[in-house]
Amino acid sequence: MFQRTLPVRALACGACALLLTACASTAFQPRDLTGQVSYKEKITLPPASTMVHLRLMNVAGSGGAADLLAEQFIDQPAHFPVRFDLRYDQHAIVAGGRYELDTQVYSEHQLSMQTAQTLTPGSSGLPDSVDVTVTPVGK
């Protein structure tokens, strides 16, 4: 009986080692997408009631569902343009994939401006920096 359990234990240990190796090779690899959000309209948003919401999404999913890769909320920005820094996993980006930076600006709890910008990965992934121009809702 001892001889039969030894190969099973060896197989189990080998499987665990292989699993740990696979996990180590796909560990989270941080990458930052930075930039700024601006608008062209000649208006001033009240800083105390303004919030900027950014989402980096993989929009190539089946069934139209988008996968959220990174998200940032910026409450009460002092002024525009607003700088942002989205941290995402480099492994989540694949060549030929479709990615989108969805940006919304809320003022006094109402969506006031937004945009969705398509990002195309190059040989080294997504660009390091993106400038976003939002437009008023309804225009």
Tens-of-pLDDT digits for all 139 residues of the chain? Answer: 444 444 555 555 555 555 555 555 578 899 999 999 999 998 888 889 999 999 999 998 666 678 999 999 999 999 999 999 999 999 999 888 899 999 999 999 999 999 999 998 988 889 999 999 999 997 6
3-class DSSP state of 84: strand
Residue type at position 12: A
Distance of CA 78 to the CA centre of its chain: 24
Name the β-bridge partners of 55.
71, 102
Residue type at position 77: P
DSSP 65: P
Decide the pairing of beta strands 110-119 and 67-75. Answer: unpaired
Please give the Cα distance from 87 to 77 (Å, whole number): 19
**pTM for this model (two decimals):** 0.77
